[in-house]
Amino acid sequence: SGRQLPPYFLLLQCDSKENFLFHRRSDVLMMTPWFAPIVWEGTYNSEILNEQFRRRNVTVGLTVFAIKKYTVFLNKFLETAETYFMVGHRVNYYIFTDRPEEVPKVPLKEGRNVVVLQVQNYPRWQEISMRRMELINSFSQQRFINEVSYLVCVDVDMRFNDQVGVEILSNLFGTLHPHFYAAERQSFTYERRPASQAYVPRDEGDFYYAGGFFGGTVMEVYKLTKKCHEAMMVDKAKGIEAIWQDESYLNKYFVYYKPTKILSPEYLWDDDLGRPEILKKIRFLALPKNHAAIRNK
């Protein structure tokens, strides 16, 4: 007497040496109040997930923009993606660029393709960054919907540094911004001007998400990019550009259309922030860049 027994199924698992149902962390938030999992190392079983997604023969599209000088990042990006991104699954890399001749030929594993999509450039880096929404949107309808199940939309000035697999996939997912994952709502850098379509009131918003890593099913990404692009165009007509460009519109969207899964900052890290203990893996890492030398060139 005195000692309470765990529920029956937990008891069963305690008997097995593997304890494979016990994927849990007590040092991080693992679930949002709307029951979306937050993906941290140690909270999932990649063997089970890989089997589920392999059975569905899922193809994942990875969209990346390399406009003007940003083509220099493609080689490292693709090489490291071949090592770490969706290993064992079918992948299409969609490379949007104005300089197709500068796309490097990187050796690809079976079931993986590079698709180069030639697009125009814009003089301002802010506009290049924001126009990604419009382009992802129009290509989702024309092309991605026929070729892939999920889209993963990321920045290019990055390297994969550890496994990024099917654990990230869900209808709609965003990534906790590495600067704000431990911050209070009051300090989130949402757009605060009510005149902007990206405006988020002080008493709203759950997390601050990074502009450089989001995704979902093609249909959900289509809806997200459509809303964000339209909001940008309304602002543009009024001479407004949100404080963090596309990231601001993305954050606004996620307040009202909540992600069904959230990625921890393991999936978008910047070593300027050091390497805190709670990060068991650093999967996708910002490369140092000289902003003045590379932007607007």
Measured distance CA(67)–CA(131) in Å, rounded? 11
Question: In the complex with ligand U5P, which residue's Cβ is closer, 38 or 152?
Answer: 152
DSSP 140: I
Instruction: In angstroms, give the least distance from the CB of 65 to ligand U5P.
Output: 4
Residues 39, 53, 74, 157: which binds ligand U5P (CB under 6 A)?
157
Give, to the nearest 10 degrees, the angle between helix 218-237 and helix 246-256: 120
Catalytic site residue 247?
yes
Token couple for 154: 């990321």
Instruction: In angstroms, give the least distance from the CB of 51 to ligand U5P.
Output: 33
**Is residue 80 within the footprint of ligand U5P (CB under 6 A)?**
no
Question: In the complex with ligand U5P, which residue's Cβ is closer, 166 or 228?
Answer: 228
Buried b (16+ CB within 10 A) or exposed e, 80-97: bbbebbbbebbbbbbbbb
Instruction: In angstroms, give the least distance from the CB of 49 to ligand U5P.
Output: 28
Question: In the complex with ligand U5P, which residue's Cβ is closer, 74 or 176?
Answer: 74
Question: In the complex with ligand U5P, which residue's Cβ is closer, 67 or 224?
Answer: 67
Which one of 7-15, 35-43, 121-129, 250-258 is the stretch in contact with ligand U5P (CB under 6 A)?
121-129
Catalytic residue selected from 41, 134, 167, 247 = 247
Question: In the complex with ligand U5P, which residue's Cβ is closer, 32 or 138?
Answer: 138
**Is residue 160 within the footprint of ligand U5P (CB under 6 A)?**
no
Select from 223, 60, 71, 67 the least CA-distant residue to 130.
67
**Is residue 119 within the footprint of ligand U5P (CB under 6 A)?**
no
Instruction: In angstroms, give the least distance from the CB of 121 to ligand U5P.
Output: 7
| Structure-token match 């404080």, residue found | 243
Residues 62, 67, 119, 130: which binds ligand U5P (CB under 6 A)?
67
Select from 56, 90, 60, 62 the least CA-distant residue to 78.
62
**Is residue 129 within the footprint of ligand U5P (CB under 6 A)?**
yes
Measured distance CA(59)–CA(218) in Å, rounded? 11
Question: In the complex with ligand U5P, which residue's Cβ is closer, 280 or 289?
Answer: 289
Measured distance CA(58)–CA(166) in Å, rounded? 9
Buried b (16+ CB within 10 A) or exposed e, 190-221: bbeeeebbbbbeeeebbbbbbbbbbbbbbebb
Token couple for 92: 């299409």
Residues 155, 191, 206, 235: which binds ligand U5P (CB under 6 A)?
155
Give, to the nearest 10 degrees, the angle between helix 246-256 and helix 125-139: 50
Residues 40, 61, 62, 68: which binds ligand U5P (CB under 6 A)?
68
**Is residue 66 within the footprint of ligand U5P (CB under 6 A)?**
yes
Which one of 137-145, 151-159, 176-184, 266-274 is the stretch in contact with ligand U5P (CB under 6 A)?
151-159
**Is residue 209 within the footprint of ligand U5P (CB under 6 A)?**
no
DSSP 43: S
Pure H helices in the chain: 8-15, 46-55, 74-84, 125-139, 145-147, 218-237, 246-256, 291-294
**Is residue 295 within the footprint of ligand U5P (CB under 6 A)?**
yes
Q: Which sequence positions are flagged as catalytic?
A: 247
Residues that bind ligand U5P in the complex, under the rule CB under 6 A: 65-68, 70, 125, 128-129, 155-157, 295
